[in-house]
Amino acid sequence: MSGADAILSVRTHLHDLRPRGRIAACYIVLVVIACVAGPWVLPYGHAHIDLHHRFLSPISAGHPLGTDEIGRDLLTRVLMGGRVSLLVGLASTILSTVIGTALGLVAGYNSGAARFLITTIIDATLCFPVVFLMLTLAAVLSPGVGTIIGIVTLVSWMEAARVVQAQTRVIRKMDYVTAVVAMGATDRYVLLREVLPNVAPAVIVSATLTIARAILLESYVSYLGYGVQPPDASWGNLLNNAQEYLESDPWLAIIPGVAIALTVTMFNLLGESLRDAIDPSLRARGSRS
Amino acid sequence: MAEGLFAFAARRAGVNVLLLMLVSLTGFMLLHATPGGPLAQFSLSPGMTTERLNQIAHSMGLDQPLWLQYVKWLGGLLKGDWGHSYRDHAPVLSIIVAHLGATVELGLASLVISFLGGLAMGLIGALRAGEAIDALCSLVGVILLSLPTFWLGLVFIYFLSVRTGWFPAGGLMAPGDASASDRLRHLALPAMTLGLVSIPVWGAYVRAFAGDTLNQDHIRTARALGVPGWRIVLRRVLPAALLPLIPIAGVYLPTLLSGALVTETVFTWPGVGRLFLDSLQYRDYPVALGVLMFSAVLVLICSLAAELLHHAADPRLRA
């Protein structure tokens, strides 16, 4: 199977996407457009301070979602925060998927020291509670969007690596692989032309679920003050000091949280629907593990 | 593969020792990679001279080669000497143990909530597979899985504490009130927060394992013989679905700890998670590193224990 065939097979799977998967895909497209284009369209800069209009409640004139403690427009802030959160989610997912897939291919194809080393590193990384490890790294490194992308990558690559490793181990024992090896194919050829296209659908599913998790992880670290730093906004750090104003102005806490919850839900729904479409046997069993 | 319980335990323990070495090396390197290294806290204090700083470095053994420091630190860990806090010079291990109770309390309470919720959700999904209620359960599961823990906590605080006054907004107990009901009222919101977001973790596994069991011949036979549905679930499906959950309980612990950190922060719950965050803020690296190591060891011990228990409980793994 060539790379083009693999993409074609994913495309035919898309026709099997459940309605909830389609809704999720539409939502994601809309959110990305809103976050990218929205701040240009809206009249306020995300750092535009207006001390005469602090703590406006939602559905105020000119401020659909109200304003924060120094009069910044919350809708603009949420959309700007969305840019950062989505960027972190996407960038760290691409990085961790590439790293995880490469390590998974190596570990699944070899049976000696390489596999042992990689699986041991995976297991060791999984020993740490994720948020503890992320906060330690964030405390060591200087904070910023690049740093948080790196940190999220560092705790997210294992998922793709495990999926790819397991699949590679199955595929390399298949008859057609034995056949091309007998015909003199090199390891490189087998990995890139036979194994990789066949693990691609599983990688796409795991990447979609990883985006969801990455957005959530960024929000945790930024909420705790170790991620994206003010005045830059991210969905996590918008909630950073919202707890102070919870009594008087709960919207400041509730609205950015809804943005996180909704977006992460949609990525998870899309990932699960993709998995069901690609592997109908899972739908029959209803397994989500 | 035939493998006795002892051989299995020995093999797993061997791998775990290797993992611990890797984990401790990572932790040690992180501590020394911090800006200013372990001396950061001291160099910030007023009137500090380079000379005095060098003295401290010497007394802490920081002028020795890195590998020697690592070996000494590792030896200390094994002997129970985890270093001293920069803040109050109390031994790290005793500080951690002092904060452990609150986290265990929160963890167990949320575990009960999430396990019972997951059991109910998974069983309903498996028994009504393909029906509307199954789809609803899986949708609710995805939503719960996607909620940011801290946000759910804030929502609970706002609606169930600020607006209604039903529950306290944070803390372990009211000052001067040691009654059990007061402690439970304080526990309710954080436990619910942490418990709810973990329901789908259990629900998904119960759903899958129960679904597998329901498809087996002995269930069909029992059904054909007219055994009541609840009896089949209670006697046959549940035990078979619970057994493979044992090793997952071990894997689940890191997730629980991460969730506890966030939940403890929102609810000012004096547990290990908040201790960790506080010590990071104060650059109290021995304590931060201690908590990191402690949780890694805990995770390894628990996953090993869970695997052994599973091995002992399921004869098929030994045959």
Kindly list the structural domains of chain B, giving each domain's residue range(s) and its CATH number in brackets, ordered by start.
93-285 (1.10.3720.10)
Question: At A77, which CATH number?
Answer: 1.10.3720.10
Pairwise CA distance, residues B148 & B312, whole Å: 37
- pLDDT bucket at B1, cuts 50 / 70 / 90: very low
Distance from CA of B184 to the nearest CA of A (A): 23
Contact A246 B35 (CB under 8 A): no
Give the DSSP H/E element, type plus range, for residue B16: helix B5-33
> Which 87-146 residues of chain A touch chain B by CB within 8 A?
120-121, 123-124, 126-133, 135-137, 139-140, 142
Best residue in B151, B214, B262 to probe A by mutation, most A CBs within 10 Å? B151
- CB distance from A152 to chain B under 8 Å? no
Nearest to A120 among B18, B257, B300 (CB): B18
Contact A123 B146 (CB under 8 A): no
Return the number of other C-beta atoms located less than 10 Å from residue B290's C-beta.
Answer: 26
Residue A287 lies in a domain: no
> What is the total count of domains within chain A?
1
Pairwise CA distance, residues B168 & B160, whole Å: 9
Residue A218 lies in a domain: yes
pLDDT at position A289: 32
pTM of the model: 0.86
Nearest to A135 among B18, B158, B280 (CB): B280
B274 and B264 in contact (C-beta within 8 Å)?
A: yes
Distance from CA of B7 to the nearest CA of A (A): 19
Domain that holds residue A143: 73-278
Peptide bond into A231 cis (omega under 30): yes
**Which chain B positions have a beta carbon within 8 Å of A129's beta carbon?**
253-255, 257-258, 261, 295, 299
Contact B265 A224 (CB under 8 A): yes
Distance from CA of B34 to the nearest CA of A (A): 4
Residue A38 lies in a domain: no
Nearest to A127 among B145, B149, B299 (CB): B299
pLDDT tens track of chain A, all 289 residues? 455 565 556 666 666 677 888 899 999 999 999 888 877 777 776 667 766 666 667 766 666 777 776 667 788 888 888 999 999 999 999 999 999 999 999 998 887 888 888 888 888 787 778 888 888 888 888 888 899 999 999 999 998 999 899 889 888 888 888 898 889 888 888 888 888 888 888 898 899 999 999 999 999 999 988 888 887 888 888 888 777 777 777 888 888 899 999 999 999 999 988 888 877 655 444 333 3
Please compute the mean of the pLDDT values over residues B264-293 and round it to a whole number: 88
For chain B, what is the mean pLDDT? 83
Residue A242 lies in a domain: yes
Residue A35 lies in a domain: no
Pairwise CA distance, residues B210 & B137, whole Å: 15
Residue A286 lies in a domain: no
Nearest to A127 among B126, B255, B300 (CB): B300
* Residues in contact with B138: Cβ distance below 8 Å, sequence separation at least 6, in sequence order: A272, A286, A288, B125, B207
Residue type, B41: Q
pLDDT at position A111: 79
Alpha carbon distances (Å) from A11 to A16, A98, A101, A274: 9, 21, 21, 11
Distance from CA of B276 to the nearest CA of A (A): 8
